[in-house]
Amino acid sequence: MPSSGMDLKLQAEELLGSKLDRVRVVTDTTQFMDLSRGDVLDLQDRRYLVTGVAYEGRFGLDEEPKHWVKRALDFSDGSQKLIKLVFFEEFDLPIGGLKVRCFRSPRKEARILELVRGRPQFMQGISFLDQAGNEVRVLDRIPGLSLDKNLDALKLTHPAYFEGHLRANLQKFLGCLEAIAFLHQRGERHGDIRRDHIYIHSQNRSWIWIDFDYNFDFKESPFGLDLFGLGNVLCYVLGRGIPTLHQLKQERPEVLDRLDTGDLSLVIPNRVFNLKKVYPYLPEEINRVLMHFAASTPVYYERVEEIIDDLRAGMAQLPGPAKEERP
Amino acid sequence: MILWNRILVGIDDSEPSLSALRYLAGVLGGSNTSKVRLLAVYTPPDPDSHPDEAARADLSAERRLVLETRLAQAYLLLVEARLARENLSTDLVEADGRPVGQVIMEYQAAGGYGTVVVGRRRLSKAEEFLFGSVSNSVVHRATDCCVWVVA
């Protein structure tokens, strides 16, 4: 039975644990900029109390509000949600020296949420059509931090990371690769694979892909951008950061003498991908996987399964068993 | 049955595609021994990226028109090179979610074309990795035929 205005306000205050000036029931989310704390989204009989706006956690854009993403509480159980509202945008994404036309697609994300329901390697959520037909996605909040924040918080030398953590982290990353293979096998792509789009659950330590709403119009190599992103994340996990030429010049100038242009990233040429020249103890088999993403590669990976097979074969060369990342 | 003198030419709106055609015209000019099919592959706009139906229909029509125009130009170019009209034909097919290279080679196999001609864009290694290459895809998929890649 629908609550009266006063009942709803009381319920919302109880849910929130603090007083609200007003509550307002919203069924059409088109004007998402107008939605704010105290608004109750009524989506096909499910109700969510908006508690605020979400902020960018992306490097360089930290603290910028994402007005189309609201923080919310579920009236049915009090659980925390992120609600993504429909915001179409189309822009050129700079990648290395290239520009890639990118589209934000709520419909794609809703479809993938449906496809990955119950799969722990993916963020979970449901989508609703609001009264105006907008595809609203209600996401379970993942307690934890992104992969990069987890790894950055490890105050270890690389040799210590290599000895104590790398094997376990690569094992987790293999799970992430298998998850992306699952998408590709079904004709879907993640679309925005980055190190801050893997979250690590603070309790069960699982690695979880988030954010599937980017889309691109490439048909000849539909998974090329995903593979590129996976190469970057792999380099990040292996090196606990991707060394750049600038950074090496400052911190380890002797390494620069060993490098040539073929050791750099194929797409972003200030990143060093031949990690064996930076960390000589890295097994050749593992480094070889990374070199498929380097400028000197004669062949590219075309399928995630190829990366998985090669990484698995190289894992035996790593020290372990050992701990995974945990700040 | 695959016949060497049944020639399939991949046409798109790029300059390399025209270069390939000019090369073919130079090789075949005046000859009446080959049948040439000019093939353009139309990729409809993705509804994920273009959700507005009307805008998508406009974009779709625009893309088709570009390819139809290019096919007509290509046909005339071969006629001007003195290839007999009865040996020339054009076709515009929909990619239906498939990569263009795959569509071309499926068409080649189905039609028994012994020679496939495509242009090659000057893509950097990075572009080829990220976006793919039709000519590479054609070469990798080719069996029982000859592929001319005109760079």
pLDDT at position B73, please? 96
Q: What is the CATH number of the domain that holds A115?
A: 3.30.200.20
pLDDT at position A71, please? 96
pLDDT per residue as tens digits for the range B67-93: 999 999 999 999 999 999 999 999 999
* Measured distance CA(B33)–CA(A229) in Å, rounded: 50
* Measured distance CA(A71)–CA(A217) in Å, rounded: 31
Domain identity same for A171 and A303: yes
**Cβ contacts of A160 within 8 Å, gap of 6 or more:** none
pLDDT at position A1, please? 45
* Measured distance CA(B22)–CA(A182) in Å, rounded: 44
User: Which residues in chain A have Cβ-Cβ distances shorter than 8 Å to B131?
Assistant: 218, 220-221, 224
Q: Please report where in the chains the tokens 């009524």 appear, as a residue.
A: A42
Domain identity same for A86 and A158: no
User: What number of other Cβ atoms are within 10 A of residue A327's Cβ?
Assistant: 11
pTM for this structure? 0.92
User: Which residues in chain A have Cβ-Cβ distances shorter than 8 Å to B125?
Assistant: 266, 295
CB of B140 within 8 Å of a chain A CB? The answer is no
User: Which residues in chain B have Cβ-Cβ distances shorter than 8 Å to A187?
Assistant: 97
B100 Cα to chain A: minimum distance (Å): 6
- pLDDT band per the 50, 70, 90 thresholds, residue B47: very high
B53 Cα to chain A: minimum distance (Å): 14
Q: Is the pLDDT of residue A325 over 70?
A: no
The CA distances from residue A227 to A10, A122, A241, A290, B66, in Å, are 50, 17, 18, 12, 31
Size of interface A-B (CB pairs under 8 A): 68
Q: Is the pLDDT of residue A57 over 70?
A: no
Q: Is the pLDDT of residue A218 over 90?
A: no
pLDDT at position B53, please? 94
Q: Which of A140, A167, A200 represents a domain boundary (last residue)?
A: A140
Domain identity same for A208 and A259: yes
User: Among A138, A134, A135, which Cα is nearest to A123's?
Assistant: A138
Q: What is the CATH number of the domain that holds A302?
A: 1.10.510.10
Report strand pairing: A80-84 vs A65-74. antiparallel
Domain identity same for A262 and A208: yes
Test mutation, A135, A219, A273, chain B, max B CBs within 10 A: A219
- pLDDT band per the 50, 70, 90 thresholds, residue A244: very high
- Residue B116, φ and ψ in degrees, nearest 5: -120, 135
Displacement of CA A305 from its chain's centroid (Å) = 20
CB of B119 within 8 Å of a chain A CB? The answer is no
Domain identity same for A158 and A271: yes
pLDDT at position B2, please? 72
Give the percent of chain A with pLDDT over 90.
85
pLDDT at position A219, please? 79
Domain identity same for A162 and A303: yes
pLDDT at position A49, please? 96
Average pLDDT (A246-253) is 95
The CA distances from residue B41 to A218, A220, A224, A282, in Å, are 14, 12, 21, 46
| Summary mean pLDDT of chain B | 94
Domain identity same for A111 and A152: no
pLDDT at position A61, please? 52
Record the tokens describing residue A121, joined without a space. 């390697």
User: What number of other Cβ atoms are within 10 A of residue A69's Cβ?
Assistant: 20
- For residue A55, the enclosing domain spans 22-140
A266 → closest Cβ in B50, B101, B125: B125
Q: Which of A110, A140, A170 represents a domain boundary (last residue)?
A: A140
Q: Please report where in the chains the tokens 């190829």 appear, as a residue.
A: A306
Domain identity same for A104 and A152: no
Q: Which of A83, A116, A140 represents a domain boundary (last residue)?
A: A140
- pLDDT band per the 50, 70, 90 thresholds, residue A327: low
HSE, side-chain direction, 13 A CA sphere, residue A249: 5
Does residue A17 form part of some domain? no
**Could you tell me which chain B residue has the CA closest to the CA of A300?**
B129
**ipTM attached to this prediction:** 0.87
Domain identity same for A124 and A212: no
pLDDT per residue as tens digits for the range B48-74: 999 999 999 999 999 999 999 999 999
Least confident span in A92-101, A224-233, A269-278:
A92-101
Does residue A150 form part of some domain? yes
Least confident span in A8-12, A46-50, B1-5:
B1-5
pLDDT per residue as tens digits for the range A262-296: 999 999 999 999 999 999 999 999 999 999 999 99
Domain identity same for A169 and A281: yes
Domain identity same for A84 and A164: no
pLDDT at position A315, please? 92
pLDDT per residue as tens digits for the range A4-21: 666 889 999 999 999 998
A88 → closest Cβ in B51, B129, B137: B51
B75 Cα to chain A: minimum distance (Å): 25
Look at chain A and report how many structural domains it folds into: 2
- The CATH class, in words, for B3-150 is alpha beta
- pLDDT band per the 50, 70, 90 thresholds, residue A323: low
Between B2 and B70, the higher pLDDT residue: B70
pLDDT per residue as tens digits for the range A120-161: 999 999 999 999 999 999 999 999 999 999 999 988 999 999
> Are residues B134 and A220, on separate chains, in Cβ contact within 8 Å?
yes
Cβ pair A167, A322 in contact under 8 A: yes
B130 → closest Cβ in A187, A217, A224: A224
Domain identity same for A306 and A230: yes
